[in-house]
Amino acid sequence: MIAAMMTRARPLAGLIGLSALLLAGAAALPAKAADPIVMKLATATLNDSQHEWMKRFAAAVERDSQGRIKAEIYPASQLGPIPRQIEGTQFGSIQAWIGPPEFLAGVDARYEVLSAPGLFKDLAHANKTLEDKEFRDAFLALGADKGLKGSSLFLSGPAVIVTRKPSPRLADFKGQKIRVLAAPLQMEQIKRLDGTPVPMALGNVLPALQQGAIDGVMSSPPVVTALKFYDSAPNMTETNHAIVSVITVLSKSWFDALPADLKPMVEKHAWQTGRDVYQWSVDFHNAQRNAWVQAGGKLIALPPEDQAEMNKRFNGLGDEVVKGQTPEIQKIYGILKAAAERAK
């Protein structure tokens, strides 16, 4: 009997021993690394300062998080038109949107104040204004209650108007349909040139130019050259009356859910990348002017008397438009004007 019991116990003992060995081996294996935190970055443009910012920021965050954050870059509206990109960022399916702040005017009308003409004498002055701490902190905080965390602010370039037909004189803009961003400060500029402002999604602009639905676009050289608008609207009038700026907004819900040690790193790189990309933006702007000409486009400067007349028409435009809007818009505009004055 005892011998039989021992015989039956041997397989059980073997199984117990094998289980112990397996458990010991499993304990010796390294724990499976947690899945990285995905960070989708979206913009509408390609191969410009917005795209450059994305590439630099993504590389810096992946490096300093030691792979805990995995960046995915989606330029050229790969994640949908701009309104869908912004909505995705608000709700957290996209982690960052990069583009002109005027596109956020539907979220908060205060985002449009940087469209005001006549505030900046050149790109260096504009850049110094954007880096002003009082203005920067106030402007980047605008979307906090709408799911957006402002994190960076930098330049695209000076404003220009590209048109299907040559527009060497101020009077040539009369009656032309010019695409602008959906912001009163931009639309009023075209009205004061006796043209018709046409707000339109960026993805629809080139077909509209090709079909003659619009006559031109107000934008900046890096944007219009990168998107090859010279094929349909080869005449670039360098009005230089305002700047086109770029903001980066993070999904606030995504940022708030980050581990505590990653939050300051993400914030630091977002702002620092915006500062670092300034000189790249200036050099790129100059290169894109040359590329415009090499592709068959023309650069047009208004005669001095026309430029003076344009400046006269735009003088005080920002004050006039903002005066009729909410106290909140008037306040942020006042902060911007004070920053521009300090930056002189």
Looking at the domain covering 37-342, what would its CATH class be?
alpha beta
Contacts for 7 with CB less than 8 Å, ≥ 6 apart: none
Query: Tell me: the pLDDT tens digits for 45-86?
Result: 988 999 999 999 999 999 999 999 999 999 999 999 999 999
Which pair of structure tokens corresponds to residue 280? 């790249």
In the three-class reduction of DSSP (H, G, I as helix; E, B as strand; rest coil), residue 70 is classed as strand
Pairing of strands 298-300, 160-163: unpaired
Phi (first) and psi of residue 91, to 5 degrees = -95, -5
Query: Tell me: the pLDDT tens digits for 234-293?
Result: 999 999 899 999 999 999 999 999 999 999 999 999 999 999 999 999 999 999 999 999
Q: Using CA atoms, how far apart are residues 37 and 306, in angstroms rounded to an integer?
A: 54
Out of 31-40, 193-202, 293-302, pick the least confident: 31-40
Which pair of structure tokens corresponds to residue 188? 């009023």
How distant is the alpha carbon of residue 132 from its chain centre? 19
How would residue 202 be classed by pLDDT, with cut points 50, 70 and 90?
A: confident
Query: Tell me: the pLDDT tens digits for 130-152?
Result: 999 999 999 999 999 999 999 99
Between vectors from CA 236 to CA 171 and to CA 301, what angle results, nearest 5°? Answer: 60
Q: Using CA atoms, how far apart are residues 221 and 203, in angstroms rounded to an integer?
A: 17
- The closest alpha carbon to 162, from 107, 229, 67, belongs to 229
Q: Using CA atoms, how far apart are residues 118 and 5, in angstroms rounded to an integer?
A: 99
Which pair of structure tokens corresponds to residue 44? 């509408």
Query: Tell me: the pLDDT tens digits for 206-215?
Result: 999 999 999 9
How would residue 14 be classed by pLDDT, with cut points 50, 70 and 90?
A: very low
The model carries a pTM of: 0.86
Query: Tell me: the pLDDT tens digits for 147-194?
Result: 999 999 999 999 999 999 999 999 999 999 999 988 899 999 999 999
29-42 burial, b at 16+ Cβ within 10 Å, e below that, comes to eeeeeeeebebbbb
